[in-house]
Structure 1
Amino acid sequence: MSTADETSPRTSDLLRDDFPSVETAAWRREVDRLLKGAPFDKAMIASLAGGLEVQPLHTAADLADGIWGASLPGQSPFLRGARAGASGPVPWLVAQELAAADAGAFNLALLHDLERGQTAINLRLDAAGRRGLDAGTAPPHDVGRDGISIGGLVDMRRALASVDLAACPLLLQAGAATLPVAAMLAAIARERGTALPLLTGVWGCDPLAVAGGPAPALTIDTLYDHVALLTRWAAAEAPGLCTIVVGDGPWHEGGADAVLSLGLLLAGAVAALRELEERGLDPAACAPHVAFQASLDTDFFLDIARLRALRVLWSDVLTACGVESTRQRAAWIHARTGDRMLSRLDPHTNLLRATTAAMAAACGGVDSLHVAPWDSLLARPGGAGRRLARNVQLILGHECRFGAVADPAGGSWYVETLTRQLGEGAWAVLRQIEAAGGLRAALASGLVGSLVGEAARRRTARLARAQEARVGVNRYCAARPANDDDAADGCDCNTEWLAERRAAAASATAALLTIDPRAEAPTQLRAVGDAAVRGGSLASLVAALGSRPDAIQGATWTLPPTGRDAEPFETLVARATLLATRDPRLVRAHCLCLGDAARTGPRLDFARGCLAVAGLDITVGAFHEDPGAAVAEARARDAAVVLLVGLDESYPTLGAATASLLAGGPRPPLLLAAGRPSASTEPLDRAGVSRYLHLGSDLVAELGAVLDTLGGA
């Protein structure tokens, strides 16, 4: 096979001769000509939530200088990632959360998954444990819900049996119980002869998030005391551990856009530095032990930009705080696919959304990742969903080879511009929060709740109008979706299991724990671990740690309410399902097509899609030019809802005549029409049409009103 010599022209050079470069000004003149007077900004520039703008064309001229300018992977300010180059097929930790309430079941699932691609332990305590309670002190509904139930050291040993803690990083989500659980983990490591410097992962909590959650057992000041203690211990004995956690989960799940979410995440990090400095830890001592938790959504490019901007801004914050070490300014980021994008409607589409978010994480350069299984909202999530979620990460690494390239999105002028815009907007949010006294003060004053609430309202409105699409939820919905499973409560326990947990908790020893606050951090943590070894229960350890005489009592607050994007639409479908049990006719909707099929077809597709959002039983007939034939077809279908689908010019005549006949006949249906209300639809109003479905309609409100009418029929 012959090869070209070094003097042969490259294909790219030949193509460049055939396609000469075009100046941006010339391109703009041609666009203006084609727009024929339409405003360029309105026709060609797209707006994203948070005030971001997407231009139709991005060029090298859009690249910025300074912290947003050109840099290399692994170099400050880490725009292009904390790693200097490719570091294996899957350079991030595969850190899947495991839905198992029982310690034994958790261990079986963990060992199974570690043999099949998982590379980190993601230990999430149940709702009771994250509040600082256990099976003996928590409400029954919280035991085993959304995590593993840990009552003491015995349970922890069972959960981690046969797992090499030195070889497998551990990410801990223990909320108010973080300090006693970390002490248990350290005690297990000592029992096994594992050197503490070999431990890696994240053993910490976000006090702001915990204190604002549901009834935690500890105050925020006590939680920050615990974080400070853990950080001193890690610096002395386990330098590979992160102990200061800052997450955007409360803001993201509350409805914040990318700019606001990133700004509040940074504000949380600054608040943590401030709190720990008051406890004797300067920013340079804290920096190596900070871990960020980022929640991802379905906007691929925006999530990539958000992760890149986070690294840059965090490096800038630490520089301003006087942290001189370049490596200490590199952000450690754990990402998880956000819960708000999951849906019980057509739940297999969750896999598509999770894959999109996981791709953004891989391109954005995260350090660890959890991908939610597609069936995690169902009452009985199965092993197949867990396997697919894990394999998404493995495919991205081994087959798509995202790990073989440092900063895959780097150099894209669009991504670079979006990163800068997002970062500048987030920095403005950070300044606003700092001007209000910091995140803690802004939470207490209600400023954060107001900002997140307003962003959530805008997001909800976009979703209700299908301006932001969710496949299977507000676009391309299956008519009358099957309700195959009940809603998940996150718990795989039963009454017998719960009784066993309560009996075990009742027999546990109360923690006899006294900590000398003047002692070194390793001594204090070992004292907590020794109390656990003596049989102290989780709740008693938390209670003992919460009664420290040096703890400062502080106010708590309520975090913004959280909710999934699909919930309003799931409510519509649930209401329709309930109506169907009463009378199947009540959810029968017929699209009555008027006029020319070729011209009306697109409107029919749109109208049918709108009705499917509510889970109605939709039928479609032929196209009619005669009102009598149209009415005969509608009556034969015996639907409670008839949606007239025609062109605007046909509504005053054909549409009005058809509507009058239907409204005046036996068992008159609820009449709707496809199209925007205007002068041409006034005859329809007089004929009995009550509502209109059009591009931009608030589908939740309109279809909710339809179900209200049907429910009262």
Structure 2
Amino acid sequence: MRDQSFPSASLEDWKAKSEESLKGRTIETLAKDIYEEIKMKPLYTRQDQTVASPFPAQGDFRRGVYALGYVSQEWKVAQKIHVDELKVSLQKAMEKGQTAISFEVNDVILTQLEDLEEFHGHYPYSLNGKAYHGRLLDTVSRFASAVEGTGFIAQDPIAILAENGAAEDNVNVAYKELYEAISKAAQTLPNVRTILVDTTPYHNGGANAVQELAIAISTGVTHIEELSSRGLSLDTILSKLVFQFSIGANFFMEVAKLRAARILWSKVTEAYGAVSQGMMISATTSSYTKTVFDPYVNMLRAGNEAFAAVLGGVQYLHVSPFNEPEGAATEFSERIARNTQLILREEAHLTMTIDPAGGSWYIEHLTNELADKAWQLFLGIDEKGGILEGLKQGWIQSEIASVREKRETAVSTRKQTIVGTNKYADLRGDSLDVQGQPGDKATGFIEPIPQGRLAEPFERLRKKATLLKEKGISPVVGLITLGDVKSYKMRMDFIQGFLSPGGIESKVSGEILKAEAAEEFIKETNLQHYIICGSNEQYEAFGLAVAEQLKVTYHNVQLYLAGIPEEKAKWEQSGIKDFIHVKSNCYETLSYLLADMEVGADD
């Protein structure tokens, strides 16, 4: 066997072999445009490598902030526990693998902050203080062992404005309060970071990775300028900063995003003449990607996102429970979320490899492209006066809205799949109970960035279908299947999968060989909408005649055709209202059908 060898193959050989299977297309046709306006190539090679990556904790810190990665400093399991009794809940969480103090801050928690003293110094904090920032720092600063505290209790006043909006200019007040809170805590909590750059509101508004990165860097620069003008030194500000990112569904993009973030921040600190110590990153799996229907799929989504976060080199990680859209986790969902991290640590052994993504031609190239594009956008934001001015002008909101619309269009047309929502929907599966809408946001000075989830439009369709059922209206469409099962099954399956995301069921006629059988099926089912399904051969043989006859006999019934026939005009003349195919806008079609069912029932 030692004497065996394989013939060498050049890149051109690989391309030629690949193009044989593409039936005349070139391999370049497999390139894909993505939301970040980066063209993803089907293959990355050594030719795509620009410069060799430095060692971790060196150079631009793309490979992480610790020389030995997670071997020396494991990421912190920072699950945001939902509690009634803070002390008891934290104790249980720590016993089950939690390694950081993390929870959603609210008015109830504020009455129990003294209970944190038992954990102070033993576990680092991972807290976005938001409006409660000063109160949190003040309480923790009074602990007897306050100086032993680590982690972060931080706030990003700009993110609060972006998420909630503002009726008047209170930026100076916000930064004055932040400065005072940081200054008070500097002596008593020397190792606790208190300044946050939070990109979550932008991510949940639909921003792409380039926008998240540029906004993060612009926010960090604004923090430096605002706080240094009030008396904080550059070294103090840099040592108190922590960045928070939401991790989306595009696995390699999210890995590259975190690596690019460290490159960009290293570039900023270098521009300020400071010695960079790297970027501390707290990450949370995305809320934007989660769904109400088929909610257990959220576990898979969160696992994918958590894996990307760890490979990207975060220091703190929260994995969202699968029922997060309901607003309150259960003991079971919190356990599964926490165990996701423990599996990555204990079973996948991700703490035993230093920067596994380092050196990958694909990831390194993507990292560089992201960093370059984000830097250019950061410069564009800076030219407009910075992140605050961009928000005041509405330019940031508009740019994010443009990407959000592209995402929603891709989901509506099913170019982007959301499993269990716009594809593979289970009409009898589980769903979460999401009540109410967010409260009113402030407007005037800064318009809030709309927060939401990508699946919401289709979820509204499912809710509409449920409401119709409660009114006694069955959201059902009849399928007129031409020929034998072999002839119609492929298109019948497609149509059933097309209808189910809107909560619409189907009644199947069985083999239809002549118009009279189709008429009998309509008479028996008495529905408003029917879709003719069959093979192209069946359409040519007698499908058109069936449609023409049904138009005469049942002129009030709406007829659709599965697929696009060659003689489209003839089918339209025969009474076909529309054609349902892979390029159809699924959301718009289903929305129309449900609305028409309701109107038809009222007539």
**TM-score normalised per structure 1:** 0.78
The counterpart of 2:226, out of the listed 271, 275, 281, is: 275
Matched, 1:560 2:449: yes
The counterpart of 2:120, out of the listed 155, 165, 170, is: 165
Instruction: Give unpaired runs (5+ residues) of structure 2.
Output: none
Corresponding residue for residue 48 of structure 1:
34
In the TM superposition, residue 654 of structure 1 has moved relative to its aligned partner by: 2.7
Q: How does 1:287-686 map to 2 (within 5 A)?
A: 287-324=238-275, 326=276, 328=277, 330-378=278-326, 381-479=329-427, 481=429, 485-487=433-435, 556-585=445-474, 587-595=475-483, 597-598=485-486, 600-648=488-536, 650-651=538-539, 654-665=542-553, 669-676=557-564, 679-686=566-573
Instruction: For residues 419-456 of structure 1, give each alpha carbon's deviation from its aligned partner in whole angstroms, at most 9, with x where no partner exists.
Output: 11111111111111011111111111121111111111
Corresponding residue for residue 80 of structure 1:
63
Q: What CA distance in whole angstroms lies between the structure 1 residues aligned with 2:213 and 2:579? A: 39
Change in CA separation of 1:447 and 1:486 when aligned onto 2, cut-off 3 Å: closer
Corresponding residue for residue 136 of structure 2:
181
Corresponding residue for residue 210 of structure 2:
259
Change in CA separation of 1:465 and 1:335 when aligned onto 2, cut-off 3 Å: same
Corresponding residue for residue 515 of structure 1:
none
Aligned partners of 2:321 and 2:337 also within 8 Å: yes
Q: How does 1:214-233 map to 2 (within 5 A)?
A: 214=164, 219-233=170-184
In the TM superposition, residue 684 of structure 1 has moved relative to its aligned partner by: 3.0
In the TM superposition, residue 685 of structure 1 has moved relative to its aligned partner by: 2.1
Aligned partners of 2:248 and 2:289 also within 8 Å: yes
Change in CA separation of 1:352 and 1:483 when aligned onto 2, cut-off 3 Å: closer
Q: Which amino acid aligns with 2:158?
A: L
Q: Which amino acid aligns with 1:368?
A: Y
Corresponding residue for residue 76 of structure 2:
93
Corresponding residue for residue 99 of structure 2:
119
Change in CA separation of 1:90 and 1:578 when aligned onto 2, cut-off 3 Å: farther
Q: What CA distance in whole angstroms lies between the structure 2 residues aligned with 1:90 and 1:604? A: 55
In the TM superposition, residue 375 of structure 1 has moved relative to its aligned partner by: 1.2
Corresponding residue for residue 49 of structure 2:
63
Matched, 1:27 2:14: yes
Q: Report the RMSD for the aligned CA atoms in angstroms.
A: 2.7
Change in CA separation of 1:621 and 1:93 when aligned onto 2, cut-off 3 Å: farther
Q: What CA distance in whole angstroms lies between the structure 1 residues aligned with 2:557 and 2:330? A: 43
Q: Which amino acid aligns with 2:5?
A: D
Q: What CA distance in whole angstroms lies between the structure 2 residues aligned with 1:95 and 1:380? A: 17
Q: Which amino acid aligns with 2:461?
A: L
Instruction: For residues 613-652 of structure 1, give each alpha carbon's deviation from its aligned partner in whole angstroms, at most 9, with x where no partner exists.
Output: 1011233353433333344345444444322122345436
Instruction: For residues 635-674 of structure 1, give each alpha carbon's deviation from its aligned partner in whole angstroms, at most 9, with x where no partner exists.
Output: 4444443221223454365333333444444695432222
Instruction: For residues 268-322 of structure 1, give each alpha carbon's deviation from its aligned partner in whole angstroms, at most 9, with x where no partner exists.
Output: 1111112122122343321111100000111111111111111111111111111
% identical equivalent positions: 29
Corresponding residue for residue 197 of structure 1:
147
SS of 2:196's partner is strand
Q: What CA distance in whole angstroms lies between the structure 2 residues aligned with 1:712 and 1:90? A: 62
In the TM superposition, residue 584 of structure 1 has moved relative to its aligned partner by: 4.2
Q: Which amino acid aligns with 2:196?
A: V
Q: What CA distance in whole angstroms lies between the structure 1 residues aligned with 2:360 and 2:481? A: 47
Corresponding residue for residue 528 of structure 1:
none
SS of 2:309's partner is helix
Instruction: For residues 72-104 of structure 1, give each alpha carbon's deviation from its aligned partner in whole angstroms, at most 9, with x where no partner exists.
Output: 12223111111222545981111111233x4x2
Instruction: Give unpaired runs (5+ residues) of structure 1.
Output: 1-7, 127-147, 492-554
Corresponding residue for residue 699 of structure 1:
586
Q: What CA distance in whole angstroms lies between the structure 1 residues aligned with 2:210 and 2:488? A: 41
Instruction: For residues 395-419 of structure 1, give each alpha carbon's deviation from its aligned partner in whole angstroms, at most 9, with x where no partner exists.
Output: 1110011111111222221111111
In the TM superposition, residue 155 of structure 1 has moved relative to its aligned partner by: 3.2
Q: Which amino acid aligns with 1:312?
A: I
SS of 1:287's partner is helix
Corresponding residue for residue 509 of structure 1:
none
Q: What CA distance in whole angstroms lies between the structure 2 residues aligned with 1:635 and 1:418? A: 59
Q: What CA distance in whole angstroms lies between the structure 1 residues aligned with 2:46 and 2:590? A: 47
Q: Which amino acid aligns with 1:165?
A: H
Instruction: For residues 45-92 of structure 1, give each alpha carbon's deviation from its aligned partner in whole angstroms, at most 9, with x where no partner exists.
Output: 111111112212111121112xxx321122231111112225459811
Q: Which amino acid aligns with 1:77?
A: D
Aligned partners of 1:378 and 1:485 also within 8 Å: yes
Instruction: For residues 186-220 of structure 1, give each alpha carbon's deviation from its aligned partner in whole angstroms, at most 9, with x where no partner exists.
Output: 12x2xxx21x3311111111111123443779922
Instruction: For residues 667-705 of structure 1, give each alpha carbon's deviation from its aligned partner in whole angstroms, at most 9, with x where no partner exists.
Output: 9543222223x6523333233322322112221111111
Aligned partners of 1:220 and 1:556 also within 8 Å: no
Give the paired residue count: 595
In the TM superposition, residue 482 of structure 1 has moved relative to its aligned partner by: 5.1
Aligned partners of 1:480 and 1:612 also within 8 Å: no
Q: What CA distance in whole angstroms lies between the structure 1 residues aligned with 2:271 and 2:279? A: 15
Aligned partners of 2:76 and 2:315 also within 8 Å: yes
Q: What CA distance in whole angstroms lies between the structure 2 residues aligned with 1:282 and 1:244? A: 13
Q: What CA distance in whole angstroms lies between the structure 1 residues aligned with 2:26 and 2:432? A: 50
Corresponding residue for residue 239 of structure 1:
190
The counterpart of 2:112, out of the listed 155, 158, 161, is: 155
SS of 1:411's partner is coil
Change in CA separation of 1:570 and 1:268 when aligned onto 2, cut-off 3 Å: same
SS of 1:260's partner is helix
Q: What CA distance in whole angstroms lies between the structure 2 residues aligned with 1:658 and 1:99? A: 60
| 29-38 vs 223-232, which moves further | 29-38
SS of 2:108's partner is coil
Aligned partners of 1:243 and 1:289 also within 8 Å: yes
Aligned partners of 1:172 and 1:203 also within 8 Å: yes
